[in-house]
Structure 1
Amino acid sequence: MNVLTENFSLYGEGFLGTIRLTVYASVLALVVGVVMAGFRVAPVRALRAIGTGWVTVLRNTPLTLLFFAMLLGLPRFGVALSFEVFAVLALGCYTSAFICEAVRSGINTVPLGQGEASRSLGMTFGQTLGTVILPQAFRTVIPPIGSTLIALAKNSAIAGSFSVVELLSTYKTLNENGYSVIWSFIWIALGYLILTLAISALFHLMEKRWGVAR
């Protein structure tokens, strides 16, 4: 117990760092994922190729390798950003591939007649997707998106190995100060548990309010 009470500020700083990474990366993943899902179902072959390539590459690339590419590779090309921003980019881009597939599966549940009716009214593909298809698809993809963002929160632990302040990175300082390894990890695990349960509760409420009735 003294590991927590004597290092509460350290744990707090790490916990807030994990929350920042999770929130910023989630926003990036959702925006890019929805855009790529639109590309995947677009009538333009070039857009479909971009969406397919994005998903194929990122889903089959280890997240740790993507971190190395972002944090160690991009600076060699003159991209000067903080390690935290690089970590957000790595987490957000990686997770966007999974968000894309979740949204695309939701789009496929919308009857084809909905799109055909919209086009018959003179609506463009973008208008049809944004005002007709996605609002209906959203109701079916709440649970998978919630699960994906929970995975993102846990994946943020990798950032601690790249000098980013987050919850797991507190272990280094605690270990150097001679605290119990077991208790250090117990409190770190509890922090992740609190965060993932909060995300789960949020998406449970969203599903209860907007999800498809079972």
Structure 2
Amino acid sequence: MDVITSNLDVFGNGLLVSLEISGTTFVVAGLLGLVLAVFRISPVAPLRLFARGYVSAVRSVPLLVLLTLFVFGLPEVGLVYSLFWTVVTAMSLYWAAFFCETMRSGARAVPLGQIEAGRALGFTFGQVVRLIIVPQALRSIIQPLASLLIAVMLNSSLAAAVGVTQELTGQTQLLDQQYAQPLITFGAAAACYVAFTLGIGRLAALMERRLVVLR
């Protein structure tokens, strides 16, 4: 256990970087996913076709392949960014497809009568989405969004495979190379991931119960 107690700062810093990657990705992917979801239910056919094609294409590519393409492929065409933002961009574009489908399922749960009532009152499509669909859809997808956040966090460990050694898994690999005690080092990393996922699940459950009361 000396490996853990003497390197608490290493695990802490690694977890912090993982949270930064995950949090930034979650926000950016959520915004992109919301736009794609609006496209999916838009009355404009080209927008629906674009969103459908994007979702189908991106979900057919493994995340690690996309990360490798961005990290090692973009510099070859002259697009050079910091490693952090390159990873976040690739992950955001990937997870946006999953956010899109989650949000679209929430939109489909909104009663059609309310949407028709909004149109009868003269609301534009944008107003129907903003005032009727989105507020109710978000209430019904709290748990799916929590699951997506957990998936984003766990898959942020793939960043270590493309050179982001500062995040939790990357730091754990470096410690294992130094101490050669994989059971202890990776066990501690696993405990950090478990604590995070349990915390997110608990928070989502509390939010869901509160929103049920507010309905």
TM-score of the superposed pair, with normalisation by structure 2:
0.94
Q: Which residue of 2 aligns with 1:32?
A: 32
Q: How many residues align?
A: 213
Q: Which runs of 4+ in 1 moved over 2 A?
A: none
- Partners of 1:169 and 1:13 lie apart in 2 by 11
Q: 1:206 matched to which residue of 2?
A: 207
Q: Could you say which residue in structure 1 is the equivalent of 2:63?
A: 63
Alpha-carbon deviation of 1:212? 8.5
Equivalence for 2:84: 84
1:120-157 residue CA offsets vs partner (Å, 9 max, x unmatched): 22211111101111111111111111111111110000
Question: Structure 1 pair 130/191, CA: closer, same or farther in 2 (3 Å)?
Answer: same
- Equivalent residue letter for 1:105: S
Amino acid aligned to 2:41: V
Unpaired runs of 5+ in structure 2?
none
Matches of 2:91 and 2:133 in 1, distance apart? 27
Give, in whole Å, the separation in 2 of the partners of 1:126 and 1:78.
Answer: 38
Match of residue 9 from structure 1? 9
More deviation, 19-28/113-122: 113-122
Q: Secondary structure at the match of 2:179?
A: coil
Between the two proteins, what is the percent identity of the paired residues? 39
- The residue number in structure 2 matching 1:133 is 133
Q: Within 5 A, what are the aligned runs for 1:1-214?
A: 1-164=1-164, 165-211=166-212
TM-score of the superposed pair, with normalisation by structure 1: 0.94
What amino acid is the match of 2:44? V
CA spacing shift, 1:212–1:152, aligned 2, 3 Å: farther
The one-letter amino acid of 1:157's match is: S
Coordinate RMSD, CA, aligned: 1.5
Cα shift readout 1:100-137 (whole Å, capped 9, x = no counterpart): 11111111111222121111222111111011111111
Question: Partners in 2 of 1:204 and 1:66 — Cα distance?
Answer: 32
How far apart are 1:173 and its partner, in Å?
1.6
Q: Deviations over 1:157-192 (max 9, x none)?
A: 000111212100012321221241110110010111
- Aligned partner of residue 42 in structure 1, secondary structure: coil
**Cα distance in structure 1, aligned partners of 2:80 and 2:16:** 24
Tell me the distance in 1 between the aligned counterparts of 2:107 and 2:134: 7
Gaps of 5+ in 1: none
Provide the C-alpha distance between the structure 2 equivalents of 1:212 and 1:88, rounded to a whole number of angstroms: 36
- Against the structure 1 CA distance between its residues 77 and 211, is the aligned structure 2 distance closer, same or farther, given a 3 Å change threshold? farther
